[in-house]
Structure 1
Amino acid sequence: MDIMTDGATLVLSGDFDVRSTWEVRNALYEHLEGHDEDVVIDMTDVNAVDVTALKVLAVATRQAVRAGHHLTLRGCSPAVRRMLHLSRLIRVLEVERQAVSA
């Protein structure tokens, strides 16, 4: 899992699963503490995700809301969206809408 920051955006790439949740969790909480604005997590280059990883994002979303901010997922692939629906965490996590191409 590679983690980069671009302003208020945290960019993830690779497999986001139980092996990388601790690393992402730490980076995410540091990022939330360092910004007084809404945070976007860009998951465009995330190959795979599991429920444990999505739970980390759900807890971080609650923390952001308590601080008066939003946490939004960007660039979710169909596989990530499917896991969000199967886990029912789509109800907790805010996912940026994608434009439909003609």
Structure 2
Amino acid sequence: MEIYTDGDTLVLNGDFDVRSTWEVRNALYEHLEGRDADVVVDLTDVTSVDVTALRVLAVATRRAIRTGHHLTLRGCGPAVRRLLHISRLAHAVDVERSAATA
């Protein structure tokens, strides 16, 4: 898993699964600390995701709300959206709507 920041956006690249959840969790919490702006987690380049990873995002969302921030997921592909609905975590996280293509 490769993690880097682009302003208020935390960009993830690679497999986001049980093996990388601690790394992502720590990066998320560090990114949320001391921020005045809302945070975006970009999943565009995530190649695979599991329920454990999505749960990390849901808990980070709750933590952001408690500290007066807003966390949004960007670049969620169909597989991620489907897993969010199957796991019932879709109500716990905010997913950015993608622009309609012609």
CA deviation profile, 1:51-101 (whole Å, cap 9, x unmatched): 100111111000100111100000001111111111010000000000110
Deviation beyond 3 Å, 4+ runs, structure 1:
none
Provide the rounded CA distance (Å) in 1 between the counterparts of 2:46 and 2:82.
14
Give, as a single letter, the amino acid of the residue that structure 1 aligns with 2:25: R
How many residues are treated as equivalent by the alignment? 102
Give, as a single letter, the amino acid of the residue that structure 1 aligns with 2:89: L
Structure 1 unaligned spans of 5+? none
Provide the rounded CA distance (Å) in 2 between the counterparts of 1:48 and 1:30.
23
Aligned sequence identity (%): 75
TM-score, length of structure 1 as denominator length: 0.97
Structure 2 unaligned spans of 5+? none
Deviation of 1:37 (Å): 1.1
TM-score, length of structure 2 as denominator length: 0.97
Identify, as 1 or 2, the structure richer in helix: 1
CA deviation profile, 1:10-59 (whole Å, cap 9, x unmatched): 00010100000000000000000031110000000011110100111111
Provide the rounded CA distance (Å) in 2 between the counterparts of 1:34 and 1:14.
27
Give, as a single letter, the amino acid of the residue that structure 2 aligns with 1:15: D
Question: What is the aligned-residue RMSD (CA, Å)?
Answer: 0.6
